[in-house]
Structure 1
Amino acid sequence: MKANFLLISLLALTLSACASKPKEPDVASTATPQTLYQEAKTVLDNGLYNRAIELLQVLDSRYPFGPLARQVQLDLIYAYYKSGDVDKAIANIDRFIRLNPNHAELDYVYYMRGLSNLKSDQNAMHSMLGIDRSDRDLASTRQAFDDFKLLVSSFPDSKYAAESKSRMLTIKNTLAQHELLIADYYMRRGAFLAAANRGKYIVEFYRDSPMVEQALEVMVEAYGKLGLTKLKQDTAAVLQLNFPGNKRF
């Protein structure tokens, strides 16, 4: 009995000691701003974006006017973008531009806005895999083009200018291809006037795109279906003049 009583007593003391043992302190609640930022930067550089967001949010809310405040906000934008939360990335970008219209790294902020808007439409298209939505408007992609265009025009010497120009060209081709998909969508459904107008839009606004030849083909076929002989002949002549190797018409 004594042995059992001693065993129970020891067990009770052990449990009591465990219960009274203080918790490990939260780094975010005890660290200095500089130490906390260094930890956030380390996890960010290691690709631990969600953890970086947690730490950066603590810094942003606790020291909104400190010496690290602007850099913390810039890092938050990047972390949100890399984590795939483009809505929060764009919200933080717009907030940064509004509060810091003359910041030295505003070119970077517009660059990140372009990237975030691009990713926004990519995420939306991925969520619709297997669904015929070729008529979907790529509004965020168009906005990305405007973001990169603003960067190039406002900061021509920026280190992001060259890549922004390249992305603008890629976006133009993407938008032209999208318009062509919509034109084909209308053709398959017998909406020939709408198809012709989409082809015309490509020719007018994306004239340096490789999609122009196919756009003219759509216009010729659509005008033929509509019985608009003169428009069909004129468009066919433009097609042959610019693409003499074309054998479709």
Structure 2
Amino acid sequence: MTAVKPVRAKPLAACVAALTLALAAGCSSTPKDETAGMSAEKLYAEARQEAAAGNHERAIRFLERLEGRAAGTMLAQQAQLDLAYAYHRSGERAQALATLDRFIRLHPASPAIDYALYLRGVVNFNDNLGLFGKVSRQNLSERDQQASKDAYQSFRQLVEQYPNSRYAEDARLRMSYIVNALAEYEVHVARYYFSRGAYLASVNRAQQAVQEYQRSPATEEALYLMVQGYERLGMPQLRDDAQRVLKTNFPDSRFLREGLRRPDAPWWQLW
């Protein structure tokens, strides 16, 4: 029988050396940090260039590095605001809002606080309402309204605390838009309840729209829903009261002529 030769163990030093080489080879594949050695000013310039070209993901990488390296400086504050905007443009709403909330909390006396409030409103406004050019057939009143309310609060804080801000006028316009959308939401719900025969619930939501959004165009339909709801509920006095208010404020009301509008009609045609 042939004797089996014993396997000799490799010296410990050789094993350690081999392991070290393997680790070094693995580490060499780690991506190189392209911002290494860049000054804060260079980082900011690169971020601005990428953002201008629409490369918001690369801009975000530069701005995140810059915020850490320039901590405590005005450049770091600017980087925070630019970072929030880049997050917004790349569709990362939660990150944008978190960055803005952090900026407002850490820098309440910043000369750019009005812009931070405005941008926070815009992030929520665009998320819920969409761009003006894309809403021609979309019934925004059917969507969750929390983003609208959050946007309204940011714009309201801006115009109340900084009425002379360069962003205040646009904020006021957006506030009016939001109020109309919120009023239409209440009317949408009231109309839904009415179509299901839930007349008391319909009247209550319509009345809420009238009380909270008196100057909104949606008030016209809300009053008409109240007239019809009270009629179905057998409450002639309340019906007549609602009809009198409707005729006084909207003497040429098309609802009195045509009834409820078609469900598929664009919501913006009310305006």
Q: TM-score, normalised by structure 2?
A: 0.76
What is the CA-CA distance between 1:120 and the residue it aligns to? 3.0
Matched residue, 1:199: 206
Give the distance between the partners of 1:49 and 1:191, measured in 2 at CA: 49
What is the CA-CA distance between 1:143 and the residue it aligns to? 1.3
What is the CA-CA distance between 1:136 and the residue it aligns to? 5.1
Equivalent runs, 1:35-184 vs 2, <5 Å: 35-122=42-129, 137-184=144-191
SS of the aligned residue for 1:89 comes to helix
SS of the aligned residue for 2:209 comes to helix
Give the distance between the partners of 1:102 and 1:67, measured in 2 at CA: 12
Comparing 22-31 with 95-104, greater Cα deviation is found at 22-31
Give the distance between the partners of 1:136 and 1:40, measured in 2 at CA: 35
Give the distance between the partners of 1:93 and 1:24, measured in 2 at CA: 30
Specify the code of the residue in structure 2 equivalent to 1:111.
Answer: Y
Specify the code of the residue in structure 2 equivalent to 1:211.
Answer: A
What is the CA-CA distance between 1:134 and the residue it aligns to? 6.3
Q: Is contact 2:141–2:184 with CA below 8 Å preserved after alignment?
A: no
Q: Is contact 1:86–1:119 with CA below 8 Å preserved after alignment?
A: no
The reply on whether 1:186 has 2:193 as its aligned counterpart is yes
Give the distance between the partners of 2:32 and 2:190, measured in 1 at CA: 62
CA offsets 1:146-190 (integer angstroms, 9 cap, x no match): 111110010011000110111111111111111111111111122
What is the CA-CA distance between 1:62 and the residue it aligns to? 3.3
Matched residue, 1:126: none
Give the distance between the partners of 2:95 and 2:231, measured in 1 at CA: 49
CA offsets 1:20-74 (integer angstroms, 9 cap, x no match): x999964311211111111011111222111100111111233322452111111
Give the distance between the partners of 1:212 and 1:24, measured in 2 at CA: 60
Specify the code of the residue in structure 1 equivalent to 2:188.
Answer: L
* Residues 24/41 of structure 1: CA separation in 2 closer, same or farther (3 Å cut): same
Give the distance between the partners of 2:101 and 2:184, measured in 1 at CA: 30
Q: 1:242 aligns with which of 249, 260, 265?
A: 249
> RMSD of aligned C-alpha atoms?
2.4
CA offsets 1:77-129 (integer angstroms, 9 cap, x no match): 11111111111111001100110011001000000010111133247xxxxxx
Q: 1:212 aligns with which of 197, 205, 219?
A: 219
* Residues 26/190 of structure 1: CA separation in 2 closer, same or farther (3 Å cut): same
Between structures 1 and 2, the one with greater helix share: 1
**Large movers: runs of 4+ above 4 Å:** 21-25, 132-136
Q: How many pairs does the alignment contain?
A: 221
Give the distance between the partners of 1:77 and 1:85, measured in 2 at CA: 9
Structure 1 residue ranges without an equivalent (≥5): 1-20, 124-131
Structure 2 residue ranges without an equivalent (≥5): 1-27, 131-138, 260-271
Comparing 207-216 with 24-33, greater Cα deviation is found at 24-33
Specify the code of the residue in structure 1 equivalent to 2:179.
Answer: K
Equivalent runs, 1:13-28 vs 2, <5 Å: 26-28=33-35
